[in-house]
Structure 1
Amino acid sequence: MATTSDGKPTTGGPTTDESRSQQGEIFDLLSNQRRRYTLHYCKREDGPVTLGDLAEHVAAWELEKEVEEITSAERKRVYTSLQQTHLPTLERADVIEFDDRTIELTDEAAELDVYLDIVPGDSVPWGVYYLGLSAVGAIVMAGLWLEVVPTEPIPELGWATLVFVLFAVSAVVHVIQTRRMRLGELERPP
């Protein structure tokens, strides 16, 4: 059995500390809005992009303007920041390939999707929604078992079908909303 330097047995995969460290690095990488905008633009374009085009779009999104309305000073400020700071950071993380003027996502960039589940601030988290839906289903089922839920107008199978349809429709809406809110799916970043 293999052991670590302090004599403890090793496991087949990364340790919990290593996993936390890697997650911390990923969250640090994604904590910057310009880097998220860069990923969004590159995913949306689905191929190599130029630094100039990227800088224009990132500046437009940051300033909530159309690309055509961006001044050369606004574009240059973002261009310089991307070139000197953000693109090298993304390249060191092996998320992009950057050759001075052209940016392209690597295969490792797809692994970031799990960390980019964007939930709008005014919505209920899906976990809470499904918990509430489960509570409604449990109340209906308990009512059927205790014979307090009327079964003349709606038979037991109708109640069960109603609960199933609620879950099925919720799952479809959840999938559609999640896909729509991914980076690279919409014109503007979510």
Structure 2
Amino acid sequence: MPQQQHRRPDETDGTDVTDEPADAEESDPLSKGEIFEVLRNQRRRYVLQYLKQDGRPVALGDLAQQVAAWEYDTIPEKVTPEQRKRVYTTLQQTHLPKMDKSGILVFDSDTGVIEATDRTRDISVYLEIVPGREFAWRELYLSLGAISSALVAALWLEIYPLTILSNLTWAGIIAVTVTLAAVAHIYHERNMRLGHGDQPPELSYTSDK
């Protein structure tokens, strides 16, 4: 009776086999719709802020303490047990599982540890996703363009008192104005990015108003 040959687990029959990593799907970038769906909720934005800010795996208890502090406009040490429990429960049962499913983070429900993923680090979400907190940059640039066009037309018609300054001076004024607007736009977007600063950008935005 011929002996049956047993292959070791690492042996193949010559056919090329390509093992795709189990987390290949998680490495794919999220669409804007998926990002908005997950992060339109304030608590989930706070979770992402804390993860991006800390950069290390965090315990659910510590996360709930800080999120509650942001929600109730206080410091973590002054969060009451009731406030912490309320946030802890919803994070554990609703928000963290949803974010884990999307691959934005990894939530171990057994140990209560939350860890960032490549998607966490790659996401740059600005405050513009928060309804009612948008800044109308397009309208600003449109207004600057309209004013500049009207100014050029007035200079071409030699309307006084605009002719007191030379055309070159007016061109410089227009260029400086547009440049300052662009610098302000970049500064605003940087400050409105989740993970930038010690608190969520929407809180900074509110305190600055």
TM-score, length-scaled by structure 1: 0.78
Amino acid at match of 1:168: T
Q: 2:176 aligns with which of 160, 165, 178?
A: 165
Contact 1:117-1:182 within 8 A present in 2 as well: no
Describe the superposition over 1:35-87 as per-residue Cα deviations: whole angstroms up to 9, x where unpaired: 01101111111222221111001111111121111112221221121112111
Unaligned ranges ≥5, structure 2: 1-30, 203-209
1:25 counterpart = 2:34 = yes
Deviation (angstroms), 1:29 = 1.0
Q: Distance in 1 between matches of 2:123 and 2:102?
A: 11
Q: Distance in 2 between matches of 1:123 and 1:149?
A: 38
Deviation (angstroms), 1:180 = 1.0
Q: 1:181 aligns with which of 180, 192, 208?
A: 192
Higher deviation after alignment, 159-168 or 146-155: 146-155
Deviation (angstroms), 1:24 = 3.7
Q: Distance in 2 between matches of 1:130 and 1:124?
A: 12
Contact 1:118-1:181 within 8 A present in 2 as well: no
Change (3 A) 1:130 1:152: closer
TM-score, length-scaled by structure 2: 0.72
Larger Rg: 2
Residue number in structure 2 paired with 1:7: none
Amino acid at match of 1:32: N
Q: 2:137 aligns with which of 126, 129, 134?
A: 126
Q: Distance in 2 between matches of 1:116 and 1:82?
A: 21
Higher deviation after alignment, 177-186 or 163-172: 177-186
Change (3 A) 1:30 1:122: closer
Q: 1:79 aligns with which of 68, 74, 88?
A: 88
Change (3 A) 1:71 1:185: same
Aligned pairs, number: 170
Identity across matched positions, percent: 46
Q: Distance in 1 between matches of 2:197 and 2:164?
A: 45
Which aligned runs of 4 or more in structure 1 are off by greater than 4 angstroms? 118-124, 149-152
Deviation (angstroms), 1:119 = 7.2
Contact 1:97-1:106 within 8 A present in 2 as well: yes
Contact 1:179-1:185 within 8 A present in 2 as well: yes
Deviation (angstroms), 1:111 = 4.6
1:69 counterpart = 2:54 = no
Secondary structure at the counterpart of residue 113 of structure 1: coil
Change (3 A) 1:52 1:179: same
RMSD: 2.4
1:45-124 equivalence runs, <5 A: 45-99=54-108, 100-114=111-125, 116-117=127-128, 121=132, 124=135
Higher deviation after alignment, 107-116 or 27-36: 107-116
Unaligned ranges ≥5, structure 1: 1-21
Secondary structure at the counterpart of residue 128 of structure 2: coil
